[in-house]
Amino acid sequence: MAAVTPDLPGGPHGHAVLFYRDGDGFAGQVGAHLLEALRAGGVAVVIATPAHRAAIAAELARAGADVAAAQADGRYVALDAIETMDRFMVADWPNAASFWQAISPVLRRAAEAGKPVHMFGEMVALLWDLGQVNAAIEVEAMWNEIGAQYPFSLLCAYPAGLVSGAAHQDSLAEVCRVHAAVVGAVPGQA
């Protein structure tokens, strides 16, 4: 699988998707994306499960980032994916106004210094895993909409096994369409 490049297509408005398999360097790829912002004096935002937040923080530390110091000064923000989703999901569907209220304050604070803002999120993968595939695609579209208001580069991730198979072919194509770039191989494609 290809490594994440520091500058995703679209510059500060890049929105890329990573399809990963267990043990293929997931935390390293996400860490490379986030580390670029930290090294430039910017902000890294992680919206992930506890296990992935820990793996990403450990990867950043291995790469030389002082995660605790960055977190203390607001340059590293780690949010729980489920808690964040609970703030904008209404009857199994993302509410646009609530999404804005949950996400825009984080982006506004991160962008205040005018430095790079790199984000990682896996709320969409959690929705997909719950069988809420269309809701996941809607959240991807909402990220694109909020990207018109704030300068940030977002890397989303889905486990390749979760989105593979003939039953997901059309939805997977839509996920790829709403992103500016696909990092690595699309599941089911050679």
Torsions phi, psi for 117 (to 5 deg): -120, 115
pLDDT in tens, 47-78: 999 999 999 999 999 999 999 999 999 999 99
**CATH number of the domain enclosing 81:** 3.40.50.300
List, in sequence order, every residue forming a beta bridge with 44; answer none if it has no partner. 76, 118
Instruction: Provide the domain count of the chain.
Output: 1
Q: Which of 100, 48, 41, 89 minimizes the C-alpha distance to 69?
A: 41
pLDDT tier, 145 (very low <50, low <70, confident <90, very high otherwise): very high
pLDDT score, position 13: 66
- What is residue 2's DSSP assignment? P
Beta-strand relationship, 153-159 and 117-121: parallel
Residue 1 lies in a domain: no
Which domain covers residue 53, as residue numbers? 11-183
pTM of the model: 0.92
pLDDT(12) > 90: no
- What is residue 21's DSSP assignment? -
pLDDT(141) > 90: yes
Q: Give the CA angle between residues 165, 167, 171 to the nearest 5°.
A: 95
Residue 165 lies in a domain: yes
